[in-house]
Structure 1
Amino acid sequence: MNIRSKYFRSRAIITTVFLASVGSVFSQTKVDSIQKMDEIVVRGYITEQAILKVPSSVSVISSKALRDQPGISMLPAFNTIAGIRMEERSPGSYRLSIRGSLLRSPFGVRNVKVYIDDFPLTDAGGNTYLNSLDVGSINNIEILKGPDGSLFGANSGGVVLLNPFDKRSDSSWASANITSGSYGLFQEKVALQKKWNNNYLNVNHSYQTSDGYREHSSMQRHYGQVGYRWNYSNASQLRFLALYSDLDYQTPGGLTTAQYAANPKLARPSTPAVAGPVAQKARIDNKTFFGGVVNETKLTSNFRHVLALFGSHTDFLNPFITNYEVRSEGTLGLRTYFELAGNGKKALTWKWNAGLELQGTNADIANYDNNRGVRGNSQAQDDIISRQFFYFTRFSANIGERLTAEVAASFNYYKYEFDKDVKTATSHSVRKFDPQLMPRFALSYQVSDGVAFRTSVSRGYSTPTIAEVRASDNKINTNLESETGWNYEGGIRLRDRTDRFWLDASLFNYRLESAIVRRVNADDTEFYLNAGGTKQTGFETQASYWLIHPGSKGFISGLQLQNSYTLSKYYFRSYVNGAANYSGNRLTGVPRGVVISGIDLRMDKNFYLFAQHNYTSKIPLNDANSLYSGEYNLIHFKAGWRRSTPGKPGLDFFAGVDNLLDENYSLGNDLNAFGGRYFNAAPRRNFFGGLRIIL
């Protein structure tokens, strides 16, 4: 059976299962005896809303979903969401894309805006150090897919909202967690939440280390996070968040097809002309401090104001094959908005938000010769100041009990200032981008208690980041243009009366202009250019169904099926680079189809099992589409025993296996790599186990 037939056969089986589930759900006549489950609520659009009526493609990674995963990294949880792809080239080296943005994010996060609580984690220069965070310090995650500047400013991919605390929890507790596994994995976490009077304190600490699957891929991270909330009146609260991360990991480099087939565990070997990462002691050392304070007050029954102040500092060190880079980055910013609500009549309720966000980042970047891991002579030095601010407004109205309408926009200003030290003289230049409007129009109509349709039109806009304007070739590229585009989308959400069944489906067409792509020089330094336009048509589904309601009596006390499906028909519309014409080629780095299926099984005597299957189709590795990575099937599971009896310490013993089928696959390909060094092998079959205690 060939690849295509296997793929469509798997889709047919999954579709049959869930259609049968839908029929089972809606054929039930007796539902009053079944306990209603908690309705999914999102907070991404400032106030809480039931997800069924939200006129956007929003996905939620709940605290339960995070707990089901191994808890070592964010990657497995993110990859359960349709349209999301997270990769890890080596332990600690994340990159994240929403609907195809891997095109310009080979080593991190681009054109996706990330927030933690009310603070933007993405700095003014476009950097997001997502790998600095510990997944165990995050309570839940909301992902807004597709361009959304209505409240969050410039982005052409989407928005990720990290919620570090459970704002509904007011209990005091303490927990400790230890996990160990293959390839030298060790992780410890301790957390404390304390409530007294109107004060809430949350403290998290973790340490993680791993030798890595490949040669020269060890990592370690120390992480600390403190959150504090003071409800100083019935209608007002002050929140504080601070985190510190010390992350150090080695970078083994990409392998050619032959090297990858011969021994995928090796680091990139040295050649007579160029020393490899082992000889050059290539690694990344990132020390980041982030802090912010937010005041939220309800001035009247229908008027609310929020003011957030935040700042960060990063010391970044990267001995690389061709140079030794040292960066010092500092960011300061402010975000403020108000909300005016009109709830006088049941026939029409509305909310109006308006505000602004501004921040500035100063990046002092220096490059030196790398003499086997020792800093040598100076190559280049630049001081780059990034300034961005935007105004935003949003009007949302519920008309009757069925129709929700939303009109929103942000007006965005961006500017870079460059001071370049060329040893003998200092030059100053400014790149100011034209102000850009990012409008969004959206409608949702609830046909019944369990069915809602939605549609939206939104504009994407994303300026080049510091890492793209000044890439590893150490040249300032002021000719790099911003990405822009329009996204047209429709969708449907279904649920049954008890919320046991849930289905969310989206169909969209996104036309991006001036797409930014990565290219590599012969000396392994990189640069970026605008590739013209792309055409991105996609279909996504997310579904879950409790076949056996949790808490049922019997040997099996709960059984849930989960599935997500992503179909990405993404192409370059117009892309000419010199004599090469890539127009009509598939978008680099994006698999055509991804199917994620999971099962959550709860048994008598507090035993549980969570298993997940990931099918990913082949991926084009270069713009010419001359080479693809192979398709792969991943299976992992986690089983354990969990006790949560009131009055007794909570216990969770668990063990699991990742890559059960022992697949040889690359997770985090180096796109358009010079010399065909595309592949970064992911770990083969590996095991983990641990213990968590809650007091």
Structure 2
Amino acid sequence: MKSSAPVLSRHLNHLDHPTCIAIGVTLLMASLAQAQTPPEAPEPEGGALAPVVITGSGSADQRWRGSATVDVVDGSELRSGQLQINLSEGLARVPGLVIRNRENYAQDLQVSIRGFGARSTFGVRGVRLFVDGIPASAPDGSGQAANFPLGSADRIEVVRGPFAALYGASSGGAILAYTQDGTRPGELRVGAALGANGLWRLSTQATGQTGTAEAPGWSYTLDVGKFATDGARPQSAADRTSANVKLSRAHNGGRTVILFNQQRGFALDPLGLERKDFEISDQKTADAAIDFNTRKSVSQSQLGLAWDQALGGGHKIELMGYGGTRQVVQYQAIPAGAQIPVTSSGGVIDLDRHYWGWNARWRWMGEAAGGRLSVSAGLAGDRQTDLRRGYENFVGTPPNRTLGVQGALRRDETNRASTLDPYLQTEWSSERLTLSAGVRRVNADYTSSDRYVNGLNGDDSGEKSFGATLPVVGLRWQLSPGLQAFANVGKGLEIPTLNEVAYQLGASGFNTALNASRNTSAEAGLRGRNGSGLWNATLFDIRTQDEIVTLTNSGGRSTFQNAGRTLRQGLELSAEYGLDQVTLSTAYTYLKANYRDGFTTCTASPCASPNVPIPAGNQMPGLPRHQLFAQIAWAPNLSGGWAAGSVFTLEARHTGRVFVNDLNSDAAAGHTLFSIGARFEQTTGAWTWREFVRIDNLTDKKHAGSVIVNDGNSRFFEPGLGRSLSAGIELTRRF
């Protein structure tokens, strides 16, 4: 630790008092965890449906094996004492990850990793999502976290730092979900949960294996569920139904996996609130949401197939393919008057998407230079085709105008995005040293065919290509049995989405002037562990050129521009420690994210050219400088009755101030929320009962759960829930 202490000390000199408290708590837990020799880590898994980079072995030991920064959250931990509806419930313990519930199921979660993805006003951008190796992100980098099957998740891995770039373009980080494999004996789980504001969830999971123990057949996992809520505010009710099926079968030297997923959802959209309305009441809904009956419906179906086969001599081949459809209809609150100009796209989005992709990879593992060497190379391709139409969200003229219904056609085009990326990765490891390197060549092509050409609304057809070679290198050095150092550096590329290149200011056609942002990312840190706990401390530095930012929002059309250079620097700390009946967990993130170059933007409409200066040094919006999670879990030795297998938890989550726009003209105040929970487990023969009760926001703190970055109507604030009670029960039977 001596070699890194001066660097860490210099960084700490710039931190404030809350930061130092968080660091002190983490380092105290780290010193406790340093007392014993760690057990040996298991071998990492590969196999069918694994993404390009195999980072996890199914346990937190993977954080110890490689140089990449990976946190693994076990599936049982995601579900235990939780509603099992949102990915944000179980991932607060991951440092560097901001995942906030908008309490608006029409817009999905707000997700960013080390600052990447923060500009997204809906869905997920800049962070790659995978479920069992199948992308939940489209080739243009946009994605949805709503289809993560929490009820049957085996684990979720969160990849941060330079090695995330090996997942392709727009991989400022990656979130990888893996579902359970069916085993013998089989298991049936039936669960129900209730929460505030009329929320309820029903779900069933069944896992098992056909054949016999001596001659096993297909392993199967079935997960079906439904949830609904009245919403915390008027115009925020939602419901969602999902089904996931996984079939897998081992054969001589390999494995075959089949996946099917279907999701249908409907959600009303309460929109964000202006500052004055947010101050009046966090139960308020924007009048425009009621007037236009803002809402969104989604239907998605997907099929995946993977196969791998060992070839002998350490060689292996892996093949994966997938395809699906996604339909979205969304009614927005764009005033009728703003849709009068012929260049408007209307206030109703009608999207019909078809997508498919594949990944072919060769692997080899063997001995070289006194160590273990692994090499993999492959080619991945993905394609999306979007039939996108826009309609007016009204019919008739005043005083007989009806709002919130589909009107005249205002947009009709087909957009396509495709990628074809070759990649190579290698790792050499000895008892004390691991050297890792990889490279991915990113190739992304966009085309748009516009069929709605009408007078001043010119032809918006066009095409745009992006490309870059993304190398990454890293090392891990075992300083002692319980302590290691690591360092990684690499290049990354974030491409704009199809929506972001769709229009340009004051002209027709694709925004060919909008470039991908390029970054150089570096990190260094220390890890320690023993049989009772583990800890991690990481410093990171990310320097970006051509950062993508909002230019205008008008009449349903948004335009974007490149803002120059940005700098993200930060510190991540995490620790877990078990002592007798008590387990302590903490995660802290310090992130300083600023624009290094000034630029100009538009804040009013119409705007012929950017006229509002954004000075260098402004903080990037949507990102708290401080974020802290801390949990104490107490598991007393109680026996008999309902208290058997009981665990009691106390949590604290702190989020610092978050600016709402590039101008830094307003911000959501920092806040600290406390939660308490209790869960119980009883087993009788083949039957197991599990119950939980939980109170979130114990002090009923008024706060902004998230912000809508650079909202054109200044409706920046999305209220978080007040004090809320939830409870659930689950019955499990082995067969």
TM-score, length basis structure 2: 0.86
Give the counterpart of 2:623 among 590, 600, 618. Answer: 590
Change beyond 3 A, Cα 1:300–1:519: same
Q: Distance in 2 between matches of 1:460 and 1:17?
A: 33
The answer to whether the aligner puts 1:358 opposite 2:381 as a matched pair is yes
- Alignment-mate amino acid for residue 199 of structure 2: L
RMSD after superposition = 2.4
Q: Distance in 1 between matches of 2:680 and 2:195?
A: 18
Deviations 1:449-495 (A, max 9, x none): 21111111111102111232237999743322111110011011100
Q: Distance in 1 between matches of 2:696 and 2:539?
A: 32
Deviations 1:370-404 (A, max 9, x none): 02221100111110011111000011101x31110
In the TM superposition, 1:132-531 aligns within 5 A as 132-148=147-163, 151-166=166-181, 169-196=183-210, 197-233=216-252, 235-269=253-287, 276-322=288-334, 323-343=347-367, 347-371=370-394, 372-398=403-429, 400-423=430-453, 427=459, 429-470=461-502, 476-496=510-530, 498=531, 500-521=532-553, 523=555, 525-531=557-563
Q: Distance in 1 between matches of 2:285 and 2:122?
A: 17
Contact 2:196 2:726 in 1 (8 A): yes
State the shift of 1:136 in Å.
1.9
Q: Distance in 1 between matches of 2:666 and 2:45?
A: 41
Contact 2:462 2:510 in 1 (8 A): no
Deviations 1:83-136 (A, max 9, x none): 111122234221211111243212111111111112222122323122233422
What is the DSSP-based 3-state SS (H/G/I as helix, E as strand, rest coil) of the residue aligned with 2:142? Answer: coil
State the shift of 1:69 in Å.
4.9
Q: Which runs of 5+ in 1 are unaligned?
A: 1-6, 270-275, 549-557
Q: Distance in 1 between matches of 2:303 and 2:327?
A: 15
Q: Distance in 2 between matches of 1:507 and 1:69?
A: 32
Deviates more, 1:514-523 or 1:19-28: 19-28
1:637 maps to what in 2? 676
Change beyond 3 A, Cα 1:340–1:192: same
Contact 1:386 1:415 in 2 (8 A): yes
Change beyond 3 A, Cα 1:673–1:374: same
- Alignment-mate amino acid for residue 285 of structure 1: S
2:97 maps to what in 1? 84
**Sequence identity percentage:** 21
Deviations 1:215-267 (A, max 9, x none): 1111100000000001122x111001110000111111121111111122111
1:532 maps to what in 2? 564
Deviates more, 1:43-52 or 1:186-195: 43-52
1:662 maps to what in 2? 700
- Alignment-mate amino acid for residue 74 of structure 1: L
Change beyond 3 A, Cα 1:244–1:118: same
The answer to whether the aligner puts 1:46 opposite 2:54 as a matched pair is yes
Q: Distance in 2 between matches of 1:574 and 1:344?
A: 47
What is the DSSP-based 3-state SS (H/G/I as helix, E as strand, rest coil) of the residue aligned with 1:674? Answer: coil
Deviates more, 1:47-56 or 1:422-431: 422-431
Q: Distance in 1 between matches of 2:362 and 2:652?
A: 44
Q: Distance in 2 between matches of 1:291 and 1:631?
A: 42
Deviations 1:288-342 (A, max 9, x none): 1111000011111401111001011001000111201100000011111111111
Contact 1:314 1:329 in 2 (8 A): yes
The answer to whether the aligner puts 1:75 opposite 2:88 as a matched pair is yes
State the shift of 1:432 in Å.
3.5
1:543 maps to what in 2? 575
What is the DSSP-based 3-state SS (H/G/I as helix, E as strand, rest coil) of the residue aligned with 1:664? Answer: coil
Contact 2:633 2:649 in 1 (8 A): yes
State the shift of 1:585 in Å.
0.7
Q: Distance in 1 between matches of 2:588 and 2:245?
A: 37
1:4 maps to what in 2? none
Q: Distance in 1 between matches of 2:556 and 2:408?
A: 19
Deviates more, 1:294-303 or 1:147-156: 147-156
Change beyond 3 A, Cα 1:488–1:36: closer
Contact 2:460 2:503 in 1 (8 A): no
Contact 2:543 2:565 in 1 (8 A): yes
Deviations 1:416-470 (A, max 9, x none): 1110012569958442324310000111111122111111111110211123223
State the shift of 1:360 in Å.
1.0
Contact 1:585 1:625 in 2 (8 A): yes
Q: Distance in 2 between matches of 1:375 and 1:491?
A: 55
Contact 1:654 1:690 in 2 (8 A): yes
What is the DSSP-based 3-state SS (H/G/I as helix, E as strand, rest coil) of the residue aligned with 2:89? Answer: helix
Q: Distance in 2 between matches of 1:576 and 1:151?
A: 31
Q: Distance in 2 between matches of 1:610 and 1:216?
A: 33
Deviates more, 1:134-143 or 1:428-437: 428-437
Contact 1:119 1:310 in 2 (8 A): yes
Contact 2:93 2:629 in 1 (8 A): yes
Q: Distance in 2 between matches of 1:655 and 1:462?
A: 42
Change beyond 3 A, Cα 1:444–1:582: same
Change beyond 3 A, Cα 1:27–1:144: closer
Contact 1:469 1:480 in 2 (8 A): yes
Deviations 1:17-57 (A, max 9, x none): 444434444456xx8xxx96987978773375642131111
Contact 1:132 1:288 in 2 (8 A): no
In the TM superposition, 1:563-574 aligns within 5 A as 563-574=586-597
Contact 1:148 1:159 in 2 (8 A): no
What is the DSSP-based 3-state SS (H/G/I as helix, E as strand, rest coil) of the residue aligned with 1:133? Answer: coil
Give the counterpart of 2:648 among 606, 609, 613. Answer: 609
Contact 2:181 2:248 in 1 (8 A): no
Q: Distance in 2 between matches of 1:66 and 1:224?
A: 18
Deviates more, 1:626-635 or 1:599-608: 599-608
What is the DSSP-based 3-state SS (H/G/I as helix, E as strand, rest coil) of the residue aligned with 2:305? Answer: strand
Q: Distance in 2 between matches of 1:147 and 1:375?
A: 45
Change beyond 3 A, Cα 1:676–1:150: closer
1:693 maps to what in 2? 731
- Alignment-mate amino acid for residue 313 of structure 1: T
Change beyond 3 A, Cα 1:42–1:229: closer
What is the DSSP-based 3-state SS (H/G/I as helix, E as strand, rest coil) of the residue aligned with 2:54? Answer: coil
Contact 1:542 1:564 in 2 (8 A): yes
State the shift of 1:643 in Å.
2.4
1:553 maps to what in 2? none
TM-score, length basis structure 1: 0.90
Q: Which runs of 5+ in 2 are unaligned?
A: 1-14, 211-215, 335-346, 395-402, 601-609, 639-643
- Alignment-mate amino acid for residue 102 of structure 2: R
What is the DSSP-based 3-state SS (H/G/I as helix, E as strand, rest coil) of the residue aligned with 2:663? Answer: coil
Change beyond 3 A, Cα 1:599–1:166: farther
- Alignment-mate amino acid for residue 401 of structure 1: E
1:551 maps to what in 2? none
